[in-house]
Amino acid sequence: MNPKNDSLRQRAADLRLHGVLEHWSEMSEADWLAKLIDWEEQARAQRSLERRLSAARIGRFKALADFDWSWPHQCDRVAIEALMTLDFITQGANVVLRGNNGVGKSMLAKNLAHQALVQGYTVRFTTAGEMLGELAAMDSDAALRRRLRHYVNPDLLVIDEIGYLSYSNRHADLLFELVNRRYESKSTMVTTNKAFADWGEVFPNAACVVSLIDRLVHHPR
């Protein structure tokens, strides 16, 4: 047995190169075969990344290398760099980025989202206002279920700007439903300018706020 040849055949099988596999005995020793499989893997990886980038809707952002770590002074660089390892995604843990307006929360979230995409994860980036408005506008239970899946399915969901607007009980219930469906199986990242103690201002009179926060901060990063 030739382990190198077996490995190459498995890669061809993973790529579903059925024509190559059917004629494997004729070409398995060809010098060009390994390069052909390399090219196909690279091309597919690039197309996959482009599709996931488009679906993620991250938009433009400043690279983390250009971030001014001296502002704000309380920004924990060690914690952010630890998050960039993406261990929190493999653990199904959530991430909460809290700080005042203009300190770079969205930029950090977009860098983390982009890193996740590069590493092969599926990502969806949205603002709280856009997502909750969209979900609340669904005109049937079936349409709502389909749209919820759109936000439940990605490996990482980033919800930006919680706290800049206030929402109805309906919006709060929808957010809780979404976070609850992802709970401990997929990672949700939120950025907010409000301490959790002030989320009652964001979701006035909503009965689910305590439960929502509980789901977000259980095993958070």
146-197 confidence digits (pLDDT tens): 999 999 999 999 999 999 999 999 999 999 999 999 998 999 999 999 999 9
Take residue 84 and report the two structure tokens written for it: 């960039």
Take residue 169 and report the two structure tokens written for it: 């009980």
Instruction: Look at residues 147, 179, 113, 213 and name the one whose alpha carbon lies nearest to residue 105.
Output: 113
* Lowest mean pLDDT across 9-18, 111-120, 208-217: 9-18
pLDDT at 1 over 60: no
- Please give the Cα distance from 105 to 109 (Å, whole number): 6
pLDDT at residue 218 in the model: 77
The amino acid present at 56, given as its one-letter code, is: A
pLDDT at residue 209 in the model: 94
pLDDT at residue 171 in the model: 96
Name residue, tokens 């980033």: 158
The amino acid present at 95, given as its one-letter code, is: V
Is the previous residue joined to 154 through a cis bond, with omega within 30 degrees of 0?
no
Q: Give the model confidence (pLDDT) of 88-127 as tens digits.
A: 999 999 999 998 888 889 999 999 999 999 999 999 999 9
pLDDT at residue 52 in the model: 80
- Please give the Cα distance from 190 to 158 (Å, whole number): 6
pLDDT at 74 over 70: no
Q: Hey, what domains does the chain have and what are their CATH numbers?
A: 3-56 (no CATH), 64-217 (3.40.50.300)
pLDDT, mean of residues 199-219 = 91
pTM: 0.79
On whether the CB atoms of residues 176 and 212 are closer than 8 A, the answer is yes
On whether the CB atoms of residues 159 and 188 are closer than 8 A, the answer is yes
pLDDT at residue 62 in the model: 85
Alpha helix (H) ranges present in the chain? 3-14, 18-22, 24-27, 33-56, 77-83, 87-90, 105-118, 128-136, 141-152, 169-182, 199-202, 209-217
Q: Give the model confidence (pLDDT) of 31-69 as tens digits.
A: 898 899 999 888 888 888 888 887 788 988 888 888 877
Q: Indicate the burial class of 128 (C-beta count within 10 angstroms; 0-12, 13-18, 19 or more).
A: buried
